[in-house]
Amino acid sequence: MKKEENNFVIKRFILPKTNNFLIQDLVYPQVTPDDFKMVNSINNVFVEEKSALLGIFKNDKSTYVTFIYDKKDEKITSYFNQYWEIIENKEKNIEFFVTNCSLILCDNLLISSDYFNKFNEEEKTFYSALNKFRFENPSMGQEYLKMKFFAGFIKGNNFFK
């Protein structure tokens, strides 16, 4: 993209190498973390969908995470700006944020079988339940509770360890 034609924010992170998961998918944020404003609504057809692109790739040394989103879209920009501030203030670790976006907001998460097989039965059930909820089209309130339950806003899950 030429700079003068670039209407997108491209945010890149280099994280420790992981063989645990890869993603190339659209992300549909639901609620901003600080002011709890709706970005997307699964059940409201009158709310225009707002999406970003999440890519997670690796080489021999590192994992590369890229978020791309429309900088003119106030809702999606607000969502990410609020999370960048939380991450910069060390209230949340970037690895947890990336893992939670992958788990909660993406459909095309690929977890390696080696990594999945290291989970105990309770963890396997946990991630299977997440996938079940994902396809049941919960209401906004259920979506919020699901996010709190599965990811949390502070602690969450970390696929980088």
Residue-wise pLDDT for 61-112, tens only, equals 999 999 999 999 999 999 999 999 999 988 778 888 888 787 777 766 667 8
Taking the model in full, what pTM does it have?
0.72
Average pLDDT for the chain: 79
Interval 124-160: pLDDT, tens: 777 766 666 555 555 545 555 555 555 554 456 676 6
Going from N- to C-terminal start, the domains of the chain cover: 3-150
- In this prediction, residue 131 carries a pLDDT of 61
Helix H, strand E, coil C: the string for the chain is CCHHHCCEEEEEEEEECCCCEEEEEEECCCECCCCCCECCCCCCCCCCCCCEEEEEEECCCEEEEEEEEECCCHHHHHHHHHHHHHHHCCCCCHHHHHHHHHHHHCCCCEECHHHHHCCCHHHHHHHHHHHHHHCCCCCHHHHHHHHHHHCCCCCCCCCCC
